Chains A and B, each alone.
Chain A
Amino acid sequence: MTFFAADGLVINFGGIRAVDGVSFEVEQGQVFTIIGPNGAGKTTIFNLVSRIYEPTAGTLVFCDEEITRVPPHEIARRGIARTFQNIELFEHATVLQNLLLGRHAHKRSRFLEELVFLPRVRALELEHREAAEKVIDFLDLQPYRDSLIVNLPYGVRKVVEMARALCTEPKLLLLDEPSSGLSVEETEDMAFWIQDIRTLLGITVLMVEHDMSLVSAVSDRVLALNYGRPLAVGTAREVQEHPDVVKAYLGG
Chain B
Amino acid sequence: MRFVFKTSYAQDLGLFRDGVQRNWYLALLVGVAVLPVLVPAYVGDVSLVFIYGLCGLSLMVLAGYTGLVSLGHAAFLGIGSYAHVYVTQDLGLPWLAGVIAATVIAAAAGVIVGVPALRMTGVYLTIATLAFALIIQEVFARWDAVTGGLKGKAVSKPVIFGVSFAGDNAFYFLCLVVLAAGLWLTANLLRSPTGRAWVAIRDSEIAAQSMGVNLAVYKTMAFAYSAGLMGIAGALFAHKIGFLAQDIFSVLLSIQFLLMVVVGGLGSLHGAIFGAVFVAMLPVMISQARDALPAMLSQPFTLFGKAAGDTVFLALDRFVKQPGLEPGIFGLILVLFILFEPLGIYGRWLKLRVYFSLFPLYKAATFRRQKAYMRSERLR
What does the 1/0 interface line of A67-111 toward B look like (CB < 8 Å)?
000011111110001101110111111001100111111010101
Instruction: Identify A111's interface contact among B196, B210, B221, CB under 8 A.
Output: B221
Residue contact B197 to A114, C-beta cutoff 8 Å: no
Q: Which of A121-129, A196-204, A220-228, A241-249 forms contacts with chain B?
A: A121-129
17 contacts between A and B (CB under 8 A): A50-B210, A52-B210, A75-B210, A84-B206, A86-B378, A93-B203, A101-B196, A101-B199, A101-B213, A104-B197, A114-B193, A115-B189, A122-B10, A125-B191, A126-B9, A126-B10, A133-B9
Task: Tell me the nearest residue of chain B to A118, going by C-beta.
Answer: B188
Distance to closest chain A CB from B110 (angstroms): 14
Residue contact A43 to B199, C-beta cutoff 8 Å: no
Residue contact B199 to A73, C-beta cutoff 8 Å: no
A89–B189 CA distance with the chains assembled, in angstroms: 21
The 8 closest A-B pairs by CB, nearest first: A76-B212, A114-B192, A105-B212, A88-B207, A90-B203, A117-B188, A88-B204, A73-B214
A114–B190 CA distance with the chains assembled, in angstroms: 9
Instruction: List the B side residues contacting A102 at CB < 8 Å.
Output: 211
The reply to whether the CB of A182 lies closer than 8 angstroms to some CB of chain B is: no
Residue contact A104 to B9, C-beta cutoff 8 Å: no
Assess A109 versus B192: contact at CB under 8 Å? Given A97-B199, A150-B372.
yes
Main secondary structure of the interface of B (DSSP, over half): helix
Assess A168 versus B211: contact at CB under 8 Å? Given A93-B203, A101-B200, A130-B9.
yes
Residue contact B13 to A126, C-beta cutoff 8 Å: yes
Counting residue pairs across A and B whose Cβ atoms lie within 8 Å, the total is 117
Instruction: List the B side residues contacting A85 at CB < 8 Å.
Output: 380
Residue contact A114 to B207, C-beta cutoff 8 Å: no
Task: Tell me the nearest residue of chain A to B187, going by C-beta.
Answer: A117
Residue contact A109 to B193, C-beta cutoff 8 Å: yes
Residue contact A91 to B13, C-beta cutoff 8 Å: no
Task: Tell me the nearest residue of chain B to A117, going by C-beta.
Answer: B188
Residue contact A90 to B185, C-beta cutoff 8 Å: no
Interface residues on A, range: 35 or more
The reply to whether the CB of B138 lies closer than 8 angstroms to some CB of chain A is: no
What does the 1/0 interface line of B188-232 toward A look like (CB < 8 Å)?
110111111101101110111111111100000100000000000
Residue contact B213 to A43, C-beta cutoff 8 Å: no
Assess A90 versus B204: contact at CB under 8 Å? Given A76-B211, A77-B212, A104-B211.
yes
The reply to whether the CB of B361 lies closer than 8 angstroms to some CB of chain A is: no
Residue contact A164 to B211, C-beta cutoff 8 Å: yes
Near A by CB (< 8 A), chain B positions 1-58 give 9-10, 12-13
Chain B positions near chain A (C-beta within 8 angstroms):
9-10, 12-13, 185, 188-189, 191-197, 199-200, 202-204, 206-215, 221, 267, 372, 375-376, 378-380
Task: Tell me the nearest residue of chain A to B215, going by C-beta.
Answer: A73
Instruction: List the B side residues contacting A74 at CB < 8 Å.
Output: 212
Instruction: Identify B208's interface contact among A97, A101, A109, A133, CB under 8 A.
Output: A101
Instruction: List the B side residues contacting A184 at CB < 8 Å.
Output: none
Question: A73-B214, A88-B207 are known contacts; what are 10 more A-B pairs with Cβ within 8 Å?
Answer: A52-B206, A52-B209, A82-B210, A92-B203, A100-B193, A105-B212, A122-B10, A125-B191, A128-B193, A168-B211
Instruction: List the B side residues contacting A86 at CB < 8 Å.
Output: 375-376, 378, 380
Instruction: List the B side residues contacting A93 at CB < 8 Å.
Output: 196, 199-200, 203
The reply to whether the CB of A1 lies closer than 8 angstroms to some CB of chain B is: no
Task: Tell me the nearest residue of chain B to A100, going by C-beta.
Answer: B196
A150–B370 CA distance with the chains assembled, in angstroms: 9
A92–B267 CA distance with the chains assembled, in angstroms: 9
Instruction: List the A side residues contacting B378 at CB < 8 Å.
Output: 86
Residue contact B193 to A107, C-beta cutoff 8 Å: yes
Residue contact A52 to B12, C-beta cutoff 8 Å: no
Instruction: List the A side residues contacting B206 at CB < 8 Å.
Output: 52, 84, 88
Instruction: List the A side residues contacting B195 at CB < 8 Å.
Output: 114
Distance to closest chain A CB from B7 (angstroms): 14
Instruction: List the B side residues contacting A75 at CB < 8 Å.
Output: 210, 212
Instruction: Identify B212's interface contact among A73, A97, A128, CB under 8 A.
Output: A73
Instruction: Identify A84's interface contact among B188, B202, B207, CB under 8 A.
Output: B207
A105–B207 CA distance with the chains assembled, in angstroms: 13
Distance to closest chain B CB from A24 (angstroms): 21
The reply to whether the CB of A23 lies closer than 8 angstroms to some CB of chain B is: no
Residue contact B210 to A104, C-beta cutoff 8 Å: no
Instruction: List the B side residues contacting A59 at CB < 8 Å.
Output: none
